Chains A and B, each alone.
Chain A
């Protein structure tokens, strides 16, 4: 079943329906994924990389639509912190996304795109699909699972729900429970999409019109949350865009406005609006304790981690106000409380939440060190 975009990745068609946290199950799931390096004879050198909200499987290879280098090209490759000479790296496109894995843009059994008929999914549902992929690839156990932001949520979910699967868990700029401020931001994004008349209740695929304006606004709002005041000040300050004076109008007077407009409009060319709804929904539902004990539980986070078997490394960044250090510290202390081997550090980096994707040598050092033995 094709998804909205049909990039040239390897694909796996699941032979069985995928059970979902919402109570339904999904037939005919296709998982698009990229691999790098070689699985060794002992099959013990596999690293699963889980991508973030609008990321994709092209972790270290050019993006088929934008042509840009892979989103973690600086981290994954021969001789890099996640060394593909040593490790077999697997990066699947998450369930609900639009880069080849089944999502709301995929065709349902009636030959029409799912649209809002696609079931609401959770982070754990994404991980279920990953686990099915690992089985199909003949990977019995992961050397490590690695992820930043929403990728970190998947990694944590995997460590708790499939405790025998990963020996190491490396999570960056993430949380064990979606903070309410982030739920709020994501609701703004979804409302921007749904307020666009071209959204058409999610059934826009046949009309030839898509809610690009709404999706662009969602992206603009989200993009601000990935940056920091420091980055914005350095990059743009209050400088004007291609003009000497303020226009006393509503054009993109400021450089930062022009930049955000570009970020918004270029995003619509590579991402599906409905996928954005479903994936942000999954994130706002994310609560590791709920995965374990159900909604309304009053257990401590540490209890959710009881029984984990991996070694953990939890990293936050001092300028990240979207997934602040306090969230990572909670994870570290909860793991500590159950005696799990855990390292935690806050790295100084100027780039806000995006720091985990950018040039932060201290992060390279920590990742390479944690994965070295």
Chain B
């Protein structure tokens, strides 16, 4: 992985390292702009953000980034077709009301899309559920069932199935555990989260 993006959260570093330099990028759920800043400063990208929390939007503006306060479930419809080289949805898919519709929007707005999400089929989650019979609270899913923003849990197998059904092409897949990349073998058991690069063609 690229030296310049080493300070990013691992899934963001994967994305940053695989975005073409100078690309036009929409980061949906951009948070405080960490990825956008890296893409702008290290890759020369024209990065824009959509973010629901106004404090985070302010943090983006404070870094000279362009971010719009809005909701991925409703506001993506307002973006024109193919207006970005990449649409990025990192750790946000499982928080949306209709992940299927958000995915369609993602691939309408961006010629390609990066999607990262926590894998609910990681062995620790499975063991937790099996042994305690309770909704798991883990490092990557740290919030109890009643207040978690993650309302649509999914697994790597679910996601692969979903994109196959819809004719979405997987251009790249990266699996992460601990703070590093792991080999793809048995990813649905071993990966804590996954990053996919997708396209329609």
User: What is the chain A residue whose CB lies nearest that of B66?
Assistant: A341
**Could you tell me the distance between the alpha carbons of A47 and B68 in the complex, rounded to whole angstroms?**
24
Binds B, one of A176-184, A205-213, A332-340: A332-340
Inter-chain contacts of A339 with B (CB < 8 A): 83
Asked if B66 and A311 make an inter-chain contact with CB atoms under 8 angstroms apart, the answer reads yes
Q: Which of B60, B64, B65, B69 has the most CB of A within 10 A?
A: B69
Please determine whether B63 and A369 come into contact, CB atoms closer than 8 angstroms. yes
Q: What is the distance, in angstroms, from B149's C-beta to the closest C-beta of chain A?
A: 20
Does A362 contact B61, Cβ atoms closer than 8 Å? no
B83-137, CB < 8 A from A: 83
Among residues 311 to 328 in chain A, which have CB atoms less than 8 Å away from a CB atom of chain B? 311, 313
Q: Is B80 an interface residue (CB 8 A)?
A: yes
Pair A372/B78 contact, Cβ less than 8 Å: no
Please state if A343 and B66 are interface contacts (CB–CB under 8 Å).
yes
A348 in the interface, Cβ–Cβ < 8 Å?
A: yes
CB distance from B71 to the nearest CB of A (A): 11
Q: In the complex, which residues of chain A have a beta carbon less than 8 angstroms from the beta carbon of B64?
A: 369-370, 372-373
B177 close to A (CB within 8 Å): no
Contact of B68 among A343, A348, A368, A369 (CB under 8 A): A343
The distance from the CB of A366 to the nearest CB of chain B, in whole angstroms, is 5
Across the interface, which residues of A come within 8 angstroms of B184, CB to CB?
A: none
Q: Which residues of A contact B69 (CB under 8 A)?
A: 344-346
Residues of B with C-beta under 8 A to A344: 57, 67-70
Is A366 a contact of B58 with CB atoms below 8 Å? yes
What residues of A have a CB within 8 angstroms of the CB of B67 in the complex?
343-345
Could you tell me the distance between the alpha carbons of A365 and B54 in the complex, rounded to whole angstroms? 12
- Which residues in chain B, 44-61, are within 8 Å of chain A measured between CB atoms? 46, 48, 54-55, 57-58, 60-61
A51 to chain B, nearest CB (A): 23
Choose among B48, B58, B75, B80 the residue that contacts A369 (Cβ–Cβ < 8 A).
B58
Candidates A336, A346, A369; contact of B78 at CB < 8 Å = A336
Please indicate which of the listed interface residues A342, A343, A369 has the most CB atoms of chain B within 10 Å of its own CB: A343
**Cα of A333 to Cα of B83 in the assembled complex, Å:** 13
B48 to chain A: closest residue by CB: A341
Interface status of A347 (Cβ within 8 A of chain B)? yes
Which residue of A is nearest B60, CB measured? A343
Q: Interface residues of A, CB < 8 Å — how many?
A: 24
- Interface contact B78-A343, CB-CB below 8 Å: no
Q: Is the CB of B66 within 8 A of A345?
A: no
* CB-defined contacts of A343 to chain B, threshold 8 Å: 57, 60-61, 65-68
Q: Answer whether residue B79 sits at the interface, using C-beta atoms and an 8 A cutoff.
A: yes
Q: Give the chain A neighbours of B66 by CB distance below 8 A.
A: 311, 341-343
CA distance A372 to B57 in the complex (A): 15
Q: Complex Cα distance A119/B40, Å?
A: 49
CA distance A339 to B70 in the complex (A): 17
Q: Is A345's CB under 8 angstroms from B58's CB?
A: yes
| CB nearest to A368 among chain B residues | B62
CA distance A347 to B78 in the complex (A): 21
A373 to B33, CA, bound (A): 15
**B residues in contact with A346, CB < 8 Å:** 54, 69
Q: What string of 1s and 0s marks CB contacts (under 8 Å) between A76-104 and chain B?
A: 00000000000000000000000000000
- The docked-state distance in angstroms from the alpha carbon of A346 to that of B70 is 10
Kindly list chain B residues whose C-beta atoms are within 8 Å of the C-beta of A370.
61-62, 64
Contact across chains for A337 and B78 when beta carbons are under 8 A apart:
yes
Contact between B80 and A362, CB atoms less than 8 A apart: no
Residues of B within 8 A of A373 (CB): 63-64
Which residues of chain A from 341 to 373 have any CB-CB distance to chain B below 8 Å in the complex?
341-348, 362, 365-366, 368-370, 372-373
Chain A residue contacts of B48, Cβ below 8 A: 336, 341
Residues of B within 8 A of A337 (CB): 78-80
Q: Write out the residue numbers on chain A whose beta carbons fall within 8 Å of the beta carbon of B46.
A: 341
Bound: A362/B63 CA distance, A = 15
Q: Are B62 and A369 in contact, CB atoms less than 8 angstroms apart?
A: yes
- Are B68 and A332 in contact, with the CB atoms below 8 A? yes
Specify the chain B residue showing the minimal Cβ separation from A348: B54
Give the contacts of A171-196 with B (CB-CB under 8 A). none
Q: A: which residues have CB within 8 A of B? A: 311, 313, 329, 332-333, 336-337, 339, 341-348, 362, 365-366, 368-370, 372-373
Offer 11 A-B interface pairs, CB within 8 angstroms, sorted by A: A311-B66, A341-B46, A342-B66, A343-B60, A344-B57, A344-B67, A344-B69, A345-B61, A345-B68, A362-B54, A372-B62
Contacts from B to A (Cβ < 8 Å): 46, 48, 54-55, 57-58, 60-70, 75, 78-80, 83
